[in-house]
Chain A
Amino acid sequence: MSILTKEKLKKTVTSPSRIAIIVAVVLIVASIVRRITGADDITSAGATGATLRFTIPLLMAGLGGLWAERSGVINIGLEGMMIAGTWLGAWFGFLHGPLVGFICAAIGGALIGLFHGFLVVKIGIDQAVSGLAINLLALGTARYLSSIYFAPNGGDISLSPQVKQPGVFSVPILSSFLADLNAKNIIVISDAAGILGGFVTEVSYATVLLFLLVPISTWLLWRTRFGLRLRFCGENPVAAESLGVKVFRTRYIALAISGMFASLGGAYLCMVSASVYREGQTAGRGFIGLATVIFGNWRPTGVLAGSFLFGFTDALRVRQSTSVHAILLVIVILGLLFAMWKLFQRNYKVFGISALSSLIVGVIFLKVPKIPDEFVTFFPNLATILVLVLLAQKLRPPAMLAVPYREREEGH
């Protein structure tokens, strides 16, 4: 019985076509709902732009979490690293412009990442404890430094002076073409144009550069020697070490990257999403970043999808409240479609859960005229829990995630 000759059992539908189908379905549903409810904002270029601005910081935190976790270390300290990023970005951005702000945030974040590495890899402190310590430390230090540096420069203990934003650009012809198309109000086409328009109109250079870190991460982690070794440090460090991989060093590098990314996310938050540092600006985004890692099944593209989901709801909250109501209808329809698909596959359990939850949301849509803001904020968290429940068996966390590893651990 030769397994080599056994036919390949690649059962996964090729993902690009799958994504295309999903995107098309979502678009059509959104378009119909916009017609029905008149909530024009859900497919406007403005909404996309806002979504992007809220997505990037989460994406950076998520990617940071991903790099750390793929190497086997949980980075609860993402929030603290983001805080460091906001502060450093604001201060150096204020002094020398946004570019220097971003660079300093990156360096600072990497150093904090290395510090986390020192605590958990070298000293062997519990990973959660170290992460929490970093969060607390960052919070206190930022406030202390603000009182020293911001207060005399037109800010105060919890506020920086105004920071210049990095430049923006619109793709010349495409941008106005899509805007025209959007204005024509043709079903589906105008909606697509609206959404796409947001990606090419008044986009910050920072957005583009940071966005590129998604494919770069994928490429590094899955195509290079360094990435392979890093992933094995998360899957089976004993095996990796037995083949000569330097587990400690690899984890240090992973954590430096992790800290750098989270900190860049913070810098983006204060220089692009806003133009000032405010205390509490990160508002738990580091933790949401951790959630997107789970949501995204420890893959960069998955993290991106998760960040979009959270970023989108964030953006909605600050725009029209009618949109929120309309989005409920989108969820109901998509949920029912999903349920039908599962019914077709004879997966009755998932069918039941998704059909029931869609119906509940449906009832809310009909009965509740205005959705409280609090619920909107909470929605992505709910979505993450749903993903965990529905897809738990398909999630593939690194096998040795958060398991402390002592180098040359003997035995086994």
Chain B
Amino acid sequence: MASAVEIKGIEKKYPGVVANHNVTLTVQKGHIHAIIGENGAGKSTLMKILYGMVRPDSGTISIDGKDVVLKSPHDSIALGVGMVHQHFMLADNATVLENVILGSEPVSFGGVIQHTAARDKLIEITEKYGLDIDPDQNVAELSVGERQRVEISKVLFRGAQILILDEPTAVLVPQEVDELFSNLKDLTAHGLTIIFISHKLDEVLAIADAITVMRTGTTVASVDPKSATKKQLAELMVGRELPKRREVSTQPSNKKVLEIENASYSAPDGREILHEISLAIHAGEIVGLAGVEGNGQSELIELIMGLVKTSGGTVSILDEDIAEMSSRKIRDSGVGYIPQDRQRDALLMSAPLWENRILGHQSTQPMSNGLWINKGNAQKDSERLVKEFDVRTPSINVMAGALSGGNQQKFIVGRELSGDPHLLIAAQPTRGVDVGAQALIWNYLIEARVAGMAILLISADLDELFNLSDRLAVISGGRIVAILDPEKTTSEELGLAMTGEKIA
């Protein structure tokens, strides 16, 4: 059978970095082909080249056996290539439907958009593939998981034959991942080809028909998933042994850092989203918040960060009610925050890295004296973060947007752990980082916990929750439905609790 994609000798240089070097990749038609590699290995760059968004310095690409030159996504779309990007490509200020149809709008004479036809087609697709989204909602109101589903619908709507999925599962919980994968299998059965990038090696082994490993910009190995193990993959990616996890034995203290008592929250339109939540986190404790995305996690975070106000109950940090406090004050009182969507909520993409270091600390020492920012300190501390958190970047003066996704994430985690906060709200702290960096970040979180930090960990990754948490709080339908001990709970039990089933 002709190969769907054949890439040979691709080179791509950015100032100070070689993103792709002599890349070779062959993808069989009808395969699910996984590409794995460390953060900054050049996976996204390669995919953007295949999608026509980035032009290679040299090398050849052929699609369905024909050599092609891709000048823009326009060309690749015409050849049946579709891409779900690692970072969302959505307009907040437009509806889901508008975002989906853009670029391939069904029109009648005169270029008038056939809204009803488009809407019906979208609903048909979302129903067929179990993608739960509302065509008429504004994207601004969507949660991260919903945005992900919009992105996937976008590609399906175009009827692409070759799908590129750059970390499509980074924010999905296991059930959703299973659902997505069964859909993908369905698609390949219809002759579609799928290239997907993931840092979750279990996932890769479970679904891929072929695996290509990238390291420092080049393809280093092709692996058969039937015979490979997780450990082998990890070592191929990193080229060395993984850092060992630290074992901890300290107990949480009984000093309450965060205390939520009967807190409720209603959306501006009156729907109750959080219902009488009660939860306390002590110094030196990590509480994992488990739940299917969209069950109130985002709103709970926003409550704690002072971004929205409770409609009942109280939230206090170190015995101080935050009801009247602004987000600025809350942060200054010693709260770190790793948001779910890093590019939207945590970074200024076109500002240098060292300026991004100041974000969130712009009113406190040592980043500023309240009036002037301290450039020297910011640069010095950025250097430290780059070193300690293994952020792969040519310098601290490049724009945050020039870093690979995982490296952006590492930088944010480092920033939020700086300045010794009492409380850290960590939403998907290892989203999109490779296994090596994940171990590194976990170790830092555990270290912070031992030093007495209270951490609320929100994660879609059950491993992460089990590995780090002292207690697991399960949220479903805006209520805390169970508090579980990770030592005595299986992932099946947790999964059931998350979907609202009673645990026997």
Co-assembled chains A and B: yes
Interface set of A (CB-CB < 8 Å, partner B): 1-4, 6, 8-9, 11, 223-226, 228-229, 231-232, 235-236, 238-246, 396, 398-399, 408, 410-412
Could you say which of B72, B93, B102, B132 contacts A396, with CB atoms under 8 Å apart?
Answer: B93
Q: Could you jot down 28 A-B contacts, CB within 8 Å?
A: A3-B137, A4-B127, A4-B133, A4-B134, A6-B134, A224-B107, A224-B112, A225-B113, A232-B102, A236-B90, A236-B91, A236-B92, A239-B89, A240-B102, A242-B85, A243-B73, A243-B77, A243-B102, A244-B73, A244-B77, A245-B102, A398-B93, A399-B91, A399-B93, A408-B53, A408-B55, A411-B402, A412-B401
Could you say which of B54, B93, B154 contacts A410, with CB atoms under 8 Å apart?
Answer: B54
CA distance A256 to B289 in the complex (A): 53
CA distance A261 to B83 in the complex (A): 38
B189 at the interface (CB under 8 A from A): no
CA distance A242 to B137 in the complex (A): 22
- Hey, what's the 0/1 contact readout for B465-497 against A, CB within 8 Å counting as 1? 000000000000100000000000000000000
B263 at the interface (CB under 8 A from A): no
CA distance A241 to B55 in the complex (A): 14
Residues of A within 8 A of B399 (CB): 411
- Kindly name the residue among A231, A245, A246, A410 whose own CB sees the greatest number of chain B CB atoms within 10 A: A410
Residues of B within 8 A of A224 (CB): 107, 110-113
| Chain B interface size, under 10 / 10 to 19 / 20 to 34 / 35 or more | 35 or more
Nearest Cβ distance between residue B354 and chain A, in whole angstroms?
18
CA distance A235 to B90 in the complex (A): 9
Residues of B within 8 A of A410 (CB): 14, 48, 53-54
Question: Considering the complex of A and B, which 4 residue pairs feature the smallest CB-CB distances, nearest first?
Answer: A243-B103, A235-B91, A239-B89, A244-B74
Whether B74 contacts A246 by the Cβ 8 Å rule is yes
Residues of A within 8 A of B343 (CB): 412
Could you say which of B72, B89, B93, B107 contacts A408, with CB atoms under 8 Å apart?
Answer: B72
Residues of B within 8 A of A399 (CB): 91-93
B269 at the interface (CB under 8 A from A): yes
Residues of A within 8 A of B93 (CB): 235, 396, 398-399
- Kindly name the residue among A4, A226, A239, A243 whose own CB sees the greatest number of chain B CB atoms within 10 A: A243
- Hey, what's the 0/1 contact readout for B304-347 against A, CB within 8 Å counting as 1? 00000000000000000000000000000000000000010000
Residues of B within 8 A of A225 (CB): 105, 107, 111-113
Nearest Cβ distance between residue A378 and chain B, in whole angstroms?
32
B439 at the interface (CB under 8 A from A): no
Nearest Cβ distance between residue B343 and chain A, in whole angstroms?
7
Whether A232 contacts B401 by the Cβ 8 Å rule is no
Interface set of B (CB-CB < 8 Å, partner A): 14, 48, 51, 53-55, 72-74, 77, 83, 85, 87, 89-94, 98-99, 101-105, 107, 110-113, 123, 126-127, 132-134, 136-137, 146, 154, 269, 271, 294-295, 343, 349, 399, 401-402, 477
Residues of A within 8 A of B90 (CB): 236, 239
Residues of B within 8 A of A9 (CB): 269, 271
- Kindly name the residue among B74, B102, B154, B269 whose own CB sees the greatest number of chain A CB atoms within 10 A: B102
CA distance A111 to B103 in the complex (A): 27
Closest to A2 in B: B132
Whether B87 contacts A231 by the Cβ 8 Å rule is no
Whether A242 contacts B91 by the Cβ 8 Å rule is no
CA distance A242 to B73 in the complex (A): 6
Whether B94 contacts A244 by the Cβ 8 Å rule is no
Known: A228-B101, A243-B77. A4 touches B123 (CB 8 A): yes
Whether A8 contacts B77 by the Cβ 8 Å rule is no
Whether A228 contacts B85 by the Cβ 8 Å rule is no
Residues of B within 8 A of A229 (CB): 102-103
Nearest Cβ distance between residue B268 and chain A, in whole angstroms?
8
CA distance A254 to B89 in the complex (A): 22
Whether B110 contacts A232 by the Cβ 8 Å rule is no
CA distance A226 to B103 in the complex (A): 10
CA distance A357 to B375 in the complex (A): 44
Residues of B within 8 A of A238 (CB): 89
Nearest Cβ distance between residue B441 and chain A, in whole angstroms?
22
12 further A-B pairs in the complex, CB-CB below 8 A; given A1-B294, A3-B146, A228-B101: A3-B134, A3-B137, A6-B134, A9-B269, A226-B111, A235-B94, A238-B89, A239-B102, A242-B83, A243-B103, A410-B53, A412-B349
Residues of B within 8 A of A243 (CB): 73, 77, 89, 102-104, 154
Nearest Cβ distance between residue B476 and chain A, in whole angstroms?
10
CA distance A411 to B54 in the complex (A): 8
Residues of A within 8 A of B101 (CB): 228
Residues of B within 8 A of A4 (CB): 123, 126-127, 132-134
Nearest Cβ distance between residue A93 and chain B, in whole angstroms?
32
Whether A242 contacts B92 by the Cβ 8 Å rule is no
Closest to A10 in B: B136
Known: A224-B113, A235-B94, A242-B85. A408 touches B54 (CB 8 A): yes
Nearest Cβ distance between residue A250 and chain B, in whole angstroms?
12
